[in-house]
Amino acid sequence: MAVPSASGTRELVLASASPRRRELLARLGIPAPRILATDIDETPLPREQPRAHAVRLAAGKARAAAALAPDAVILAGDTVVGVGRRILPKAEDEATARRCLALLSGRRHRVFSAIAVLTPDGTLREALSETVVRFKRLEPAEIEAYIAGGEWHGKAGGYAIQGSAEGFCVWLAGSHSGVVGLPLYETRRLLRAAGLTIA
């Protein structure tokens, strides 16, 4: 999608195939950005903490997309669930999702949602949303029912707050949209700083 900017009209590229990020971006009046999903190594570095991991991956995705669309404004993001210094994985199988939910049961965790906006002149703008979430104590039957529903697949920490897992959430302090995958306040601020006209 071409978005008005201070220097004319620029194409905005979302460096993500996530439908949740597209839906959230539409709330800012950008319903159909160009999609350029990137494939970078998301393995945590030795002793890397959740906050730094999220920031590094968002910037890496932005740079990877910019190599394919050098004249566009690139928006990239990454969301990481952390328990203390531990980075929870994106659940790709039931066993991983089950372990994540058991770990999150009855305790607080943090969700770090980093975004990066890279403009054609090479300027990289970054922001990080940090949200604290507390889950109720989950009964084994609740975990199994959630696993059976399949919402966990590909999700950081093994859950999707925008689905039925919101019923596990005792309280949340921070950005709900950040937990979903794109913190809208920070996204709007960075896109405007990059010169795009955002309502």
User: 124-170, pLDDT tens digit by residue?
Assistant: 999 999 999 999 999 999 999 999 999 999 999 999 999 999 999 99
Provide the pLDDT confidence category of residue 4 given band limits of 50, 70 and 90: low
Q: Decide: 152 and 97 in contact? Cβ < 8 Å.
A: yes
41, 78, 93, 121: which one is catalytic?
78
Under a CB-based contact definition with an 8 Å cutoff, are residues 16 and 187 in contact? no
78 noted as active-site residue:
yes
Instruction: Examine the pLDDT at 7 and tell me if it is beyond 60.
Output: no
Percent of residues, the chain, with pLDDT higher than 90:
87
Q: How confident is the model at residue 3 (pLDDT cuts 50, 70, 90)?
A: low
Task: Determine whether 11 is exposed, middle or buried from the number of CB atoms within 10 Å of its CB (0-12, 13-18, 19+).
Answer: middle
pLDDT of residue 49: 96
Q: Is the per-residue pLDDT at 6 higher than 60?
A: no
As to burial, measured by CB atoms within 10 angstroms (0-12 exposed, 13-18 middle, 19+ buried), residue 134 is: middle
Q: What is the model's pLDDT at position 153?
A: 95
Mean pLDDT of 3-18: 76
Q: Which of 77, 76, 73, 61 is nearest to 12 (CA)?
A: 73
Cβ-based neighbours of 13, under 8 Å, separated by 6 or more: 33, 34, 35, 36, 65, 69, 72, 73, 74, 75
Tell me the residue type at 114.
Answer: A
pLDDT (average), residues 52-57:
98
- % of the chain at pLDDT higher than 70: 96
| pLDDT one-digit tens code per residue, 81-139 | 999 999 999 999 999 999 999 999 999 999 999 999 999 999 999 999 999 999 999 99
Residue 185 has pLDDT above 90, yes or no: yes
CA dihedral 29, 31, 36, 38 (to 10 degrees): 70
Average pLDDT of the residues of the chain: 94
